[in-house]
Amino acid sequence: MKTSNLKATPAGKKVAESFPVIEVSHLSKTYGKKSTAFKALDNINLKIFPGESVAIIGKSGSGKSTLMHLMALLDKPTSGTIKVLGINANKLKGKKLNRLRNKYFGFVFQQFFMNANDSVLENVLLPLKIGKISRFKRKKLALKALDIVDLENKAKNKATNLSGGQKQRVCIARAIVNNPKIIFADEPTGNLDSGTGKKIIDLLFGLNKKGTTLIIVTHDEDLAALCDRQIRIVDGEIVKESKQKAGYIRRTAIREGMKEDR
Ligand SMILES: Nc1ncnc2c1ncn2[C@@H]1O[C@H](COP(=O)(O)OP(=O)(O)O)[C@@H](O)[C@H]1O
Ligand SMILES: [Mg+2]
């Protein structure tokens, strides 16, 4: 990427102007057929640039998760296109699609999806196993990811024996073990108390500060305000995209505050 295309945001981050990591055009999604048909998304257009933090915000049922699943290539749109790093994802299938997802994306969900009876280490190295990384290297990378979330000492524990906050930190370790370009987080603090949630938010924005693009789905206005950009969805349509300058100052202040909290 040419550095001449980079533009500094008020937060001091450099964001590439001309080459989106994700580009969504005329995206619609209808669930069900005929009498049960329900249009969950209607003509969504959206560009997300490298290094941005973007909140997709809206009430429950507005279509946030649907949009995230489509952008993360976990589901197919009814119409419209999604480009990931310039690649038209509509044309990808099977192995190629899985490879793209595995290489570039990390996922954090509200429900901390994990293999409960496997060890923490096994859970974290799963994306590397899928990516066919050697046994030695994947253990090393998984331990490094666990170190980042401060859980290296739990590597051998059964995942099921952890607290909610620890489980979500394992999920973050698993999301970053591949060194992804984009992290998708769907209500990442939804099942956590506010103190534990802060730690998760701090980790996610720490990764974003180092350059990972962060896409957070949330109904939490305070969490959304921490992001560079808020995309508001009502009944499957984008109603507002904001770039509030005051938000940057506030966000930085809150982030600094969070660090002191720990
Ligand atoms: N698999 C599905 N089949 C039918 N309707 C669905 C399905 N998934 C979501 N919906 C509906 O689509 C709408 C948007 O859902 P969702 O994207 O999960 O909203 P949000 O994440 O904003 O709460 C809701 O009305 C929901 O009931
Ligand atoms: Mg949802």
Asked if the structure places residue 152 within a domain, the reply is yes
Distance CA 168, CA 149 (A): 10
Q: What is the mean pLDDT of residues 75-80?
A: 96
Amino acid at site 18 = S
Q: Whose CA is nearest to atom 11 of ligand 1?
A: 40
Q: Which domain holds residue 172?
A: 51-68+93-261
Q: For residue 147, is it within any domain?
A: yes
Q: What are phi and psi of 2, to 5 degrees?
A: -75, 135
User: With a 6 A CB cut-off, is 197 part of the ligand 1 pocket?
Assistant: no
Map tokens 């949630």 to a residue. Answer: 197
The residue whose CB lies within 8 Å of the most ligand 1 atoms, and thus the one to mutate among 27, 29, 31, is 31
State if pTM tops 0.75. Answer: yes
| Token couple for 94 | 């099977």
User: How far is Cα 92 from Cα 99, in angstroms, rounded to an integer?
Assistant: 10
| Ligand 2 centre distance from Cα of residue 65 (Å) | 4
pLDDT, one tens digit per residue, over 53-77 is 999 999 999 999 999 999 999 999 9
Residues 6+ apart with CB under 8 A from 157: 119, 120
pLDDT exceeds 60 at position 245: no
6 found inside a domain: no
Atom nearest to 67 CA in ligand 1: 17
Residue 66 in contact with ligand 1 by CB distance below 6 A? yes
Q: What CATH number corresponds to the domain at position 236?
A: 3.40.50.300
Asked whether 234 lines ligand 1 (CB < 6 A), one says no
Task: Count up the domains in the chain and report the number.
Answer: 1
Q: Quick check: is 126 in a domain?
A: yes
pLDDT per residue over 129-159, tens digit each? 888 899 999 999 999 999 999 999 999 999 9
Give the per-residue pLDDT at 253.
43
Contact 28, 82 (CB under 8 A): no
